[in-house]
Structure 1
Amino acid sequence: MNDRHEPAGHPDPDAALPPAPDDPERLLLHADLDGQLDPAASLALARRRATDPAFAAEAERIAALHRALSRISTEHGPSAALRARLAQPWAQAAADVPVTTPAIASVTPLPAAQTRTRRRGWHSDWRALAASCLLSAGLVYGSAALYFAPDAQQAQIAATVAGHRRALLAQHPVDVASSDRHTVKPWLGSRLALAPTVIDLAAGGYPLLGARIEIVDGRPAPTLVYGHREHLISLSLIPVGTREESSPELSTVDGYGVLLWQHAGMAHVAVSDIDRPGLDDFVAQYRAAERRGGEGEGAR
Structure 2
Amino acid sequence: MDMERPPYLVDGVSMNGSDVVGETAAALAAASIAFDGVSEYGDYSTTLLDAAKELFDFAYNYQGNYDADGYYVSSTYGDELCWSAAWLYAASHESPYLTKAEELYELHCKSRGWAFAWGNKNAGAQMLLYQLTGKYDYEKKVNNFVTKWMPGESLPYTPLGLVFRDIWGPLRYTAGTTMIALIAADSGLHTESYLEWAKGQIHYMLGDCGRSYVVGFGHNPPLRPHHRASSCNSTLTGSPALRSPDANPHKLIGALVGGPNIDDEYDDNRQDYVSNEVACDYNAAFQTSVAALLHFELQGRK
Structure exhibiting the larger radius of gyration computed from Cα positions: 1
Both proteins in one fold, TM over 0.5: no
**Which TM-score applies when normalising by structure 2?**
0.23
Q: Report the structure, 1 or 2, having the larger strand content.
A: 1
**Which TM-score applies when normalising by structure 1?**
0.23
